[in-house]
Structure 1
Amino acid sequence: MPFTRIALKKGKSPEYRRTLMEQIYLAMRQTIGIPENDRFATITELEADNFNNSGDYAGIDRSGDVVFVQITLNAGRTVEKKKALYAEIAERLKTDPGVRPEDVVISLLEVEKEDWSLGNGVAQYA
């Protein structure tokens, strides 16, 4: 049950934002095998003054259209699966809605199964 948080500069269309969520979901389905309809995601839009993409940090020339993707998920996936996920997200976002791969910044937060409650105050996976 991944939970995806996406942050980007304010001003993109509702369709663009929906496409970001869908493409990231499809990339997770393809590479790390999340369940069908496991679609927990939010988008935060930030004013330009509240947004810093670190310019060319790590030798990557980012533009003002950076998309930050933070995925909280159960621990235990291999480095190979994580690399496949990063590549698939970047490729899908490049194709639709047209985000430059240089502008896709991804971080994973791994948690244990008992760290989730999906509602009703119950730890469903514990």
Structure 2
Amino acid sequence: MPLIRIDLNRTAPLDRARIVGDVVYAALRAVASVFENDKFQIVTRHGAGEIVAPEAGYLGVTYTDDLVIIQITWNAGRSVAVKRALYRQIADGIAARTGIRRTDVFINLVEVAKENWSFGNGEMQYASA
């Protein structure tokens, strides 16, 4: 845990997905105490018109074709302070390493109970007995 989904424009540079994934993983390790080697990521590249954001922006944030949408599914229970620090570190890291504007880094957290994971073998590794 966690499971990361990264959605970006098909025209983005080829190394962008790897860089974004590395930044997200490093932030999760540093801020949210995610275990080493716990790096499960799904990257999807989209054609024109397949990532839709409000043309006028939303909540004072405007978007470009560089928009990267990151969805993190993880165990429930982390504080608002941890989440806030995670968002900031991811946005800052992606901006620094790719040149993408911080406003083009959209992050969504999905919190689930520990028993909602199976890492293989049909087992519920995180569930209590």
Per the alignment, residue 22 of structure 2 pairs with 22
Within the alignment, does 1:110 sit opposite 2:106 as a pair?
A: no
- Cα deviation, 1:21-55, whole Å, max 9, x if unaligned, reads 00110011111110111110011111112121223
Number of aligned residues? 126
Q: SS at the partner of 2:29?
A: helix
Q: CA deviation at 1:16?
A: 1.5
Q: Runs of 4+ in structure 1 displaced over 2 angstroms? A: none
Q: CA deviation at 1:113?
A: 0.5
Tell me if structure 1 keeps the 8 A contact 2:53–2:63.
yes
Q: 2:63, 2:41 → 1: CA distance?
A: 24
Tell me if structure 2 keeps the 8 A contact 1:21–1:41.
yes
User: Which has more helix, going by share of residues?
Assistant: 1
Per the alignment, residue 42 of structure 2 pairs with 42
The equivalences for 1:1-126 within 5 A come to: 1-55=1-55, 56-126=57-127
Give me the CA root mean square deviation. 0.9
Percentage identity across paired residues of the two chains: 40
Q: SS at the partner of 2:115?
A: helix
Gaps of 5+ in 1: none
Q: 2:76, 2:54 → 1: CA distance?
A: 28
Q: SS at the partner of 1:49?
A: coil
TM-score (norm 2): 0.94
Tell me if structure 2 keeps the 8 A contact 1:53–1:64.
no
Q: 2:27, 2:14 → 1: CA distance?
A: 20
Q: 1:32, 1:97 → 2: CA distance?
A: 23
